[in-house]
Structure 1
Amino acid sequence: MRKTLLSKTFFTAAVLALAVIFSSFQPEGKYTITGHFSELPDGTVMEMIPAGTHKDEKPVGTAIVKSGQFTFTGSVDGPRYFFVKIADGGYSGFSLMVENAAISVTGKAAPGKGGKGLTFSDIQVKGSQSHAAYEEKSSLRSRLNVLYEAYHERGKAVTDELTAARNAKDTVLQKKIMTSDAWKQFEKEEHEFFQTVGNAIDSLVIANKDTWWGPFLLLNNFSYLTPEQKPLFEQFSKEAKESYYGQAVYANLYPKSYIGQKAPSLAFADVNKQPVSFASIAKGKKYVVVDFWASWCAPCRKAVPALKAFYTENSKDVEIISVSIDKKDTDWTKADKEENFPWHSYLDRQGLANAYQVKAIPAMFLLDAKGIVVAENVTLDQIREKIK
């Protein structure tokens, strides 16, 4: 009897062990990402977008929420950084370092400020070793944020005074505040803070110069790269330079020039998403200015009056195409109506910003009537000089 009982116990344990093994089996070379957010309504569409490359990337997958859960499956050639977000939900989402493994993500999704969108918090990731490493390497941000909050708290009184003076459009008071000892102290501390930030990021990148982490951290800690970061790139190992993120850094720091060549893209689409012929836009003109902007870009919108004045003076020979990089049609159409452009205006539906390697806006390119690039990333004054 005892032998039989032991046999049954052993058999039951073995079956349970096998069940656990098979239930957690992950196909080699594949990832499965399971999100658990009880606050997400059924039917919510989630999308997974490549991030960290300084490109306007498109989703590589979508998933539908059911009973607070959603699942993405696929494969990656190596650890890749993604942003998982609610489709058409603005920036409601969270970052995730993905590798080929069974990955579980839990957290909270609460209404954002003013009840707009959702804010994801308390994100916990299991199953991704690269995500754990990412969190450790990203801890620098939280340490720097403590310093940021500290010097802003010390300068709160004088910055509040200056903000009030600006809102009141009191230029005399603004000048007085900006020559005060309190403001000079705040500027001194701000300068020292950004020096600390620069040195800390450089040190972090160089500490990881022999692997893909080096170029990834360079991209992840800068909104856009400038020639100032070239010395950092040159210190990367061959492996790091040739990695996925190494190539992305190279493309940012050493962009291909199209001057004297056909524009990288002339794929414009109207409000109905129908293609618009560049030849029809340029007909009868000598030059075409392609102007990248967005509804949320204050410098872009501030430059509109000068651009309109330029167009009035030169519309006989020059056409303008404004290309918005807004994520939502509604944001673009609202701003487009407000600005009332007297020229062609389209939303970037064809990856134009990526093709033109736009890193920051406003950004303008001058083409001739055949679509040949005459000048890249130029100011309005430089365009004036070119068309003379």
Structure 2
Amino acid sequence: MIKYILILTLLLPVLITKGQSFELNGIIEGKDSGVIFLYYKSTERYQLDSAKIKNGHFHFQGEIAGPVVASLNKFRPEKLKSIHDRNEFYIDPTKMDITVEADKFEHFTLKGAATDKDRVSLIKSQQSERDSINLLSAAIEATTDKNLKLTYIQATNRLNHIIREKDSVFIVHHPDSYVAADLLQKSISFHTISFTSYDSLYQRMPLAIQQSEVGKKIKVTVDKEKAVSPGMIAPAFPSIDTLTGKRAILLDFWASWCIPCRQLAPQLHQLYEQYKDKVEFISISLDKNKADWIKATQEDNISWVNILEDNLQQLSRRYFVSTIPTYVLIGADKKIIGNYAPLTWQELKTALANLN
């Protein structure tokens, strides 16, 4: 008996990592033969499978750890040229059927994948905003009027804000959805919702999602970022420790090669001029090349404290900066007020305005 228990114990990790099987039977309208590709995350790695098209039909099967995002491609990924050559959806460990148009892969019908219904529901709730953004994008490209272009950009930003709000509502109301879990992970990475909601949202997820790959990523990030969440004492470094006479500190994590960082430089200058008497601005560059850092500093006319991060300080790691630009506002008591990104720029402005 002991021998059999030992064998089962040794096999357990294998059984756990094996995953569950899926089947995807497909019909491609307008194409009788050829090859079609499916890109997805298997139990061990990202997988690119191919299937022959016979009389307009094709078939895929494989193993996945749970619901995952998949992409059906007309060509191999490196040869894709148009948005009409691919689509994206969730596959479940079950049997599914998909029908797709040969010339417009984004037009497809998927049956049997319960998880993908959540994705479809979310997209439908945001369709009017997305359609308007597409029209505005075309208008921005077409006009040469700078004022009109700025008006279109501002309108686009407002629509993107509405989409983010709908994402947040979806996350709150669908704690048992893998789609919501993926959205939460992206929100954490890009700082599009406040940190105070991360842990509570994670705790509402069922155990299956918490133990999934995306659930584990969320848990790691939540545990790490608790150290730099609002209300916590900011990780110390010399430039902070030696500051006196300032009521708050704004850390700006950036780099010369970061396009959004450089684009926001003029607006950061405006904030500096507005709050320099009561806020100490510190820019921390993640550049590896000192010459690039100096050149960008001169081009952007950075007149406040500017630090080139080195391997000894690793300030971005201490503040768990995953994307740039990232802005960290610290109060006079050295406690963190908030973490901000381009998508939450308005929240940063509000926080600065609310400083005592």
Query: Under a length normalisation based on structure 1, what TM-score does the superposition of the two structures give?
Result: 0.45
The structure with the largest alpha-carbon Rg is 1
TM-score between both structures, scaled by the size of structure 2: 0.48
